[in-house]
């Protein structure tokens, strides 16, 4: 089996969701740090940064993931057209 083309838009949308989920996890960690008073410039500011992180980081991660995968799949499709793609071996399940 040879992967000759990866549709850029569906791949980018899928990975945007994956990166947004990672952003939620990172945002939650930053929020916990902010609530714990380990903030930047005092407790009040740290709490504000923490609350903003839970909203902003998933959006930023999702957007960056979307754009990065869109670029990578487009480059892959171009290069696969030149050299033929990636060949993979698969094994069917035993009965």
Domain residue extents for the chain: 8-78
b/e map 54-73, b = 16+ CB within 10 Å: beebbebbbeebbeebbeeb
> What's the pLDDT score for residue 51?
75
**Structure tokens of 61?**
């991660």
Q: pLDDT at position 45, please?
A: 62
pTM for this structure?
0.75
Output the six-digit token pair for 9: 């838009």
Distance CA 95, CA 89 (A): 19
Q: Residue 31's pLDDT is what?
A: 82
Per-residue pLDDT of the chain (95 residues; tens, 9 = 90+): 888 999 999 999 999 999 999 999 998 888 887 777 655 555 566 667 777 888 899 999 999 999 999 999 999 999 999 998 899 888 887 66
């Amino acid at each position: 089996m040879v992967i000759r083309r990866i549709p850029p838009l569906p791949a980018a949308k899928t990975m945007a969701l994956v990166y947004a989920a990672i952003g939620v996890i990172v945002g939650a960690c930053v929020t916990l740090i902010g609530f714990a008073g380990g903030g930047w410039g005092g407790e009040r500011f740290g709490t504000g940064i923490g609350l903003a992180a839970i909203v902003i980081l998933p959006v930023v991660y999702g957007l960056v993931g979307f754009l990065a995968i869109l670029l990578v799949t487009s480059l892959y499709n171009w290069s696969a057209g030149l050299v033929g793609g990636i060949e993979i071996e698969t094994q069917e399940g035993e009965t």
